[in-house]
Amino acid sequence: MAKIAKPGRAAFTLAESLIAGTLLSLFLLVGYSMLKMADKVFHQISGNEDATMQLKRAVRMMEKDLITTNILQVQGTKVPAHLPGGAFDGSAICMLSAAQNGTGDMVIKSDGEPTWQRNILYYIITPQGDPCAGGADAQGYDDRCPHKLLIRKIIDNPLVSGTEEPLLTPAASLSAYLTQPVGKTNISNLLGEANVTQVDLVARGMVSMQIKLPPPQSDLPLSGIPNEVQVLLTAFNEPKSRKLALGSLALTSQPGYLVNSFSIFPRNNR
């Protein structure tokens, strides 16, 4: 008995192959675009979180030191320019502290007045070798380099003859301590400076720090002194997905520019 051959399945036509290839390419393109967008959002969110955490750490540490000092024992100055743009790196603030080094316990005299132990210095600065060109904002501060570091130093000055306390380092004498770290995370070179017993890297990825202090009024009763210290801190989250002319472009209007301003009223105003 003869076998009857069944007709075989016809192959894909050229048109069907082209349509299938086009659809596959479209699906791959859409998938790649979604992955790229998700990666961009992830980096933006994680970067903002990191920059925000840096600012929060800076605020927390500065508040802790400033709130226990005396408004008359606070000095401020500008940090000299370290970039070709010629703008100030930021501000520096120095205060006397009654806290014992290492323990944080306050040392108080029998009459309740603080016994000053040491100077605490905060300043923002560009690390050595930074490639940014820099440039000035309306106040003369650099607003283009997002690589600055906020440094905290404890300066144990020798006791003044005839007293039991160190004197506040004058603003004019702070320049010797406004030194650059050798890298973005390496601050080891700062520990060898005279009378410096501790150095902390408080925050990185900073753009600027500006300080506003009340005018000197040491001849007035303490009750009449405006004892507010105003601090403005800014940081920047460098984007991963697009190119910016970092170092030569003002960052104040760019996405990722973060601002934290706060005021402290020192309590040790005796």
> For residue range 33-44, what is the model confidence (pLDDT) as tens digits?
666 665 555 445
Distances in whole angstroms, Cα of residue 116 to Cα of each of 108, 151, 188, 193, 266: 9, 21, 27, 21, 14
Q: Which of 74, 76, 79 is nearest to 90 (CA)?
A: 79
Q: Where are the domains of the chain?
A: 47-264
pLDDT(188) > 50 = yes
Residue 204 has a pLDDT of: 92
Q: Phi-psi bin for 89: left (phi > 0), alpha (psi -120 to 50), beta?
A: alpha
Digit-coded pLDDT (tens) for 4-51: 555 555 566 777 777 777 877 777 777 666 666 655 554 455 446 788
